Amino acid sequence: MSPLASLQYLDSLINHEIHLDRARASSFKLERVARLLKELGDSHKDLKAVHVAGSKGKGSICAITASILQSAGYKVGLYTSPHLNNYRERIRILGSAMPNLKRTPGVRLKGADSDIFPDCIREEELRALIGEIKPAVEKVRSCADSGDLSFFEVYTVLALYYFYKSQVDLIVLETGLGGRLDATNAVDSGVAVIAPISLEHARILGDTIERIAEEKAGIIKGGGQRVVIAPQDRRVLDVLKKRCRRFSIDPLQVEGSVAFGGAAQDIDGQTFDLKTVKAGYQQIRLPLLGKHQRENAAVSVCVIECLQDLGWIIPARAVAEGCRNVFWPGRTEVIERDPLVLLDGAHNAASAKALSQTLREILGGRKVVLVLGVSKDKDKESICDELKGIARKMIFTKADHPRAKDLEGAVDVRTALDLARREAGPDGVILVAGSVFVVSEARRYLLTVE
């Protein structure tokens, strides 16, 4: 298929990410994903998987875990969402031959569509795969009882098929929405991970934190599975432990099982000691900022230790190297130095609170000029409440995306950044936050050579 035809075919599928306000719980049907996988030979059943669900931090946990596995010499399929530049970066294969992905702040790219990750699926590979799976997709779409396949469902199946054909050793999957009915839950994972859960997508997942936890706990399915639970609200923990008891699983609860020491942080990253029930790791260097990222790294290390129990050979050296080399942009990312410009996709109150705490620690009381834009389904007031204490001025913006919320006085992202530069001056600090769509647009503008 040509690049245009491939893009048009993907665009022909219903995309709940763009029109989330139209989605309902009934919009998600795992049976049709299973039907599509069966049409492709159920090759996904040969994949070994780590599966991560949650409300915040799940992408970082996936990235850190995959980086550690790569450092141990494994060929790792990594599937995450959403993307920053293009759909291809959601599907990656990390291998020992891949370069260090760190980027020096201030170095610009040659074009807005430059690949953030050189290990993502190539355009020609994506085109070929779409052409290969299209007959199966159309067969399932023609079944009256299936309902219409969504973009995320088809793209998830495509990723799994790609990982199988590429003969990866292990895959790391991030859920899209929820867990129980998420397309990624068609895979049976050896390790299920529950990142911190908070109120989100209440209209689809449930209007209480307990109901949301029940949906996300759906990735816990037994069958010898190991379960790692990040620090959680007590109500969430009760739900998750009940789910584990149903399958006679004794989960590894990160809170109470790990201890930190010697933590130090600056604008370039943080260093800390980590002690688990199995081992001690000294002076881990992590380029991701904030206490929450330290906790995400601890979750990843616990995942690695579960994999070790299952027979995977992962030396302590790989833990240190994988943490040091992880690259996960758009998360308190330093994009420029003069003035200091940071990007963070904090999209709810819990994420905004963690971001606020991080900036208080690394900025030493300096106030930021905040460029804020949110999605329609997000609570702007709660995000503002968490960030207003670190901001000396707020500039509202609206991303060029169907899900972007109209805020009073909002300007486009480029104008907002120009206003922020004038307000901050060369010695100031600019923070872009509120949604991944705003961060994505700002990142492209700031890094692209005109």
Provide the pLDDT for residue 431.
97
Q: Does pLDDT of 144 surpass 80?
A: no
- Residues 173-191, mean pLDDT to the nearest whole number: 95
Tell me if domain 3-325 and domain 333-447 are identical in fold. no
- pLDDT tens sequence across 218-234: 999 998 999 999 999 99
Provide the pLDDT for residue 96.
66
Non-local CB neighbours of 318 within 8 Å, separated by 6+ positions: 68, 69, 71, 72, 73
On whether the CB atoms of residues 330 and 440 are closer than 8 A, the answer is yes
- Residues 267-291, mean pLDDT to the nearest whole number: 97
- pLDDT tens sequence across 198-215: 988 777 888 899 999 999
Q: CA-CA distance, 197 to 236, in Å (whole number)?
A: 7
422: tokens are 């004038």
Answer with the residue of higher pLDDT: 233 or 375: 233
SS3 content of the chain, % helix, strand, coil (to 5): 45, 20, 40
Provide the pLDDT for residue 22.
66
- Residues 87-114, mean pLDDT to the nearest whole number: 67
Provide the pLDDT for residue 188.
96
72: tokens are 């141990």
Class of domain 3-325: alpha beta
Specify the 3-state DSSP secondary structure of 128: helix
Provide the pLDDT for residue 6.
79
434: tokens are 């509120």
- pLDDT tens sequence across 283-307: 999 999 999 999 999 999 999 999 9
Q: Does pLDDT of 145 surpass 90?
A: no
- Residues 242-268, mean pLDDT to the nearest whole number: 96
Provide the pLDDT for residue 110.
45
Q: Does pLDDT of 104 surpass 70?
A: no
Confidence of residue 113 (pLDDT cuts 50, 70, 90): very low
Provide the pLDDT for residue 112.
44
**Report for 109-113, 297-301, 353-357, 407-411: range of highest mean pLDDT:** 297-301
Answer with the residue of higher pLDDT: 75 or 97: 75
Q: CA-CA distance, 437 to 17, in Å (whole number)?
A: 11
Non-local CB neighbours of 428 within 8 Å, separated by 6+ positions: 339, 340, 368, 369
On whether the CB atoms of residues 11 and 150 are closer than 8 A, the answer is no
Rounded to the nearest integer, the mean pLDDT of the chain is: 91
Residue-range domain boundaries for the chain: 3-325, 333-447
Which residue, 176, 186, 10, is CA-closest to 88?
10
Class of domain 333-447: alpha beta
